[in-house]
Each structure stands twice: as C-alpha cells, then as structure tokens.
Amino acid sequence: MADWQEITGGVTAPKGYRAAGITAGLKPSGLPDLALIVSDVEAIAAGVFTTSQVKAACVDYCRQILQAKPSALAILCNAGQANAATGSQGVRDANESAALLAKELNIDPELILLASTGVIGKRIKMDALRSGIPKLVASLSETGSDAAAGAIITTDLVPKTIALETTIGDRPVRIGGIAKGSGMIHPNMATMLAFVTCDAAVSPHLWQQMLSRAADKSFNSITVDGDTSTNDSLIALANGQSRTPAITEMGAEAEKLEAMLTAVCQHLAKEIARDGEGATCLIEVQVTGTHDDLAARQIAKTIAGSSLVKSAIFGRDPNWGRIAAAAGRAGVPFEQDNLQIKLGNFLLLENGQPLQFDRAAASAYLKQAATNYPVADVVATNNSNDLSGDVRSNIKTQRLDNPVIITVSVGNDHGTGKAWGCDLSYDYVKINAEYTT
C-alpha cells in the first residue's frame, strides 16, 4: 500500500501556493493560453530540461536562473508559441516576460521561472502577453490549479493534474502537479511541460537529486513518437509551508517524500502517454531480469517507442515478434533463450520459444483497452489544435487503470524497469500533417 492518499487541488493543494490561467490572446483558437503558479514565500526550486541542442529561450533562461540560485517565487507559462529557434529577439522576449511579471508581483525578476509551448519558430505575441499579465495576476487563487492546467495545453485533449498527501513528523505534507504533452514525446524529456509544487522543506541539492531520479522513472520513460522537443521543462518548487523539519539528507523521511514525488511524476507521465496524439490506448511495458534497473528501462523504452509495436497494438494484432525484435535492438545484452514475452495474461514466448495461444482472445484484449477512451472519434471530426471547451469537456476522463500490459523477462538478474507509450494511429499523421496549416 502506498504511504499517501490522493487529494484534490493540483498545484494549489500544498500550502502556500496560488495559481491562475487565462485567455490572453496568444492562441488563435481563443482558448486559455497563459498560466501562473506563485508561492507565498520563496521556494527551493529544481528543474530538469530538454537534452536537445535546439532549445527554447525559456529553457536557457531557467537554467541560468537555477544555476545562480536554486529558488523561485513564480512560474509563468505561455501556450501558443514555443519561442524556440527565434534568435536573440526570442531571448529578449523571455527576459521581458519575466520583467513584466516581476513588476506586477513586485518581486525580483530572478525569482521567476519561465516555460513556453507551441509552434517552434514562433515568437511570443508580446502585445497580448503585456496586456494579459495584470489580468493573470489578478486571477491568482488558492483554487486556481485547474485553470492553470487548462491554460498550458496545446494538442492535448484533456488537462493533466494530480495531488498527493502523506504525513511527515505528524504533519501533512502535500505534492501537487500539472502537466501538458501529447505529441513530440520521447525519453530524455519530451514536448512536455510539468510543474510540481510541494510544501515540505528540502535542501536545494537534495531536492534536485530527488527530481532528477523521479524524472528518470517517469517523464524519461514515456514515448509517443520518438521526437524530443525544444521546450521540455520539469520544474518543482518546495516552499516549506507544511512547517515540517527540513529534510537535508537521505533517510526514512526523504525516501517517503521522494517516493511520493515519483508517484506524482509517474501519474502525470502516464497521462501524457495516454493522451498521445491520435492514441486509442495506453501501453505499459514491464521488463525484468536485467543486470540493473537502467538496462531494464532501456529495453522497456525501446519497446514502447517501436513504431512497429505501436502500429500492431493499434491494429489489435498480438504480433509478439515485433516486441522481441525491439527488445533485441535495445542495446542491452541478454541470452535469447531466456526471453519471455507476455501480452496481458497471454504467454506468447517462453525460454526463447514461441507458444500456442488464443490469438482471437489476445486481440480482444487489445480492443478492450481502447474501448474506454474514443480519442480517434473525437480527433477525426475536430482539429485537436482548436477543440472547443465543450468538446474537451465531453471527452471521457483518461483511464490510466486499463493499459495494454506488455511483460518481458530477459533473465534472472535483479534489474526491473517500466516505460509507457501509446499506439500509433492514422490520426497521429493527420494531426501532425496539418499542425501549422
């Protein structure tokens, strides 16, 4: 049993946080496009960012801020324009964004972190941003998490949010998170933004270590299409407002907090994978028997990212040969005679030997995983970049409890790992073929 419980409230569930999301006119659709998260007191800040050599101005900005001082009071996010590959003017736009918000909040600009999402090569619409900042600050609320979650999404069909609570030192401690992501998703971060808030007191170095490890087990273990983005950002704040003793080194309390942080990140990561562009089902790959966990995650991510595996799942075809081929090219040595593959409860390969199985029943298992989330029907009749609020609200809540489970064993060692992805449908091509037109 997990040593925490799920609660409502998202990023405003922890004490001492407010959030807001508004329509500032950045998106041509007229949907919400500007979000803000503010801590009442200066918070310890940590971040994990894209590994791409082509980075958005906000990524370089945040890295510089956090290297100088790992603390922040606010996170500002615009949706609609990525402000990536926009040259020196894009850098000036990012700096001006921070300065505008700092003036409105009456704080130091160096206590503001930035994130952007949207079309690469497009600058932020600064006139809309300038007029939107005062409205955004005025909208800050202790119940504003859902508004913020809705304002950071682009091709997502639904917002992504979670909050968990545990007890440390006889006091409640909470972690909340919101995220966006649907396409251009691949390990080593993805076209995703995730913002996490926590009311525990944690030393800066330890908080960064916790976040990096949590990212490896969550956002770095999902894939939709194999493309890493220019804007990937995972930012976490810890403001100490739970009034628990400061956690400065690993121990029982630190392990509990990190486990809850990892659970928050994994929930958001799975929501991103489940909401992959055009996807009809979530895929979870579980790998065991490697020499260490890193190797197991490497095999799992390779399988989850295989276009052939993803296409077979979309076609409801229990083609285990594609799974075996992906495992074999993952770069992790193992004996073929030790390979075992299961799809759900169907054992397909044992000791490297194919087995007889009920192909029709296995196909039905794949079909069942897609019945609870008819994304294809929605995307086929709507441009996902311009879905109205009514359409979004009518889409069923994501079912994270009904994934396609692929289980692979490659030996008897202690290494284990998981990765998450989604199937590859016709609609993925449709969405991305028409992305800017």
- Per DSSP bridges, beta strands 160-168 and 5-6 are antiparallel
3-state secondary structure of 239: coil
Catalytic residue among 86, 117, 161, 191: 191
Rounded distance between C-alpha atoms, residue 58 and residue 232, angstroms: 10
Report which of 160, 364, 113 is spatially closest to residue 264, judged by C-alpha positions: 160
By CB atoms closer than 10 A (0-12, 13-18, 19+), residue 43 is buried
Rounded distance between C-alpha atoms, residue 97 and residue 112, angstroms: 10
Percent of the chain at pLDDT > 70 equals: 88
Q: What is the tens place of the pLDDT at every residue in 259-305?
A: 999 999 999 998 888 877 778 889 999 999 999 999 999 999 999 98
Instruction: Indicate if the pLDDT at residue 68 is higher than 60.
Output: yes
- The residue to which tokens 């801590």 are assigned: 39
Joined together, the tokens standing for residue 45 give: 């800040």
Q: Each residue of 209-221: b (16+ CB within 10 Å) or e? A: bbbeebbbbbbbb
Query: What separation in angstroms does the CA of 260 have from each of 168, 250, 350, 358, 369?
Result: 12, 14, 35, 39, 27
**pTM assigned to the model:** 0.85
- Helix boundaries (H) for 106-144: 126-138
Return the pLDDT at 363: 96
Any catalytic annotation for residue 154? no
Which residues partner with 165 through β-bridges?
5, 174
Return the pLDDT at 304: 92
- Per DSSP bridges, beta strands 17-22 and 34-49 are antiparallel
Q: What is the tens place of the pLDDT at every residue in 199-247?
A: 999 999 999 999 999 999 998 888 755 555 678 899 999 999 999 999 9
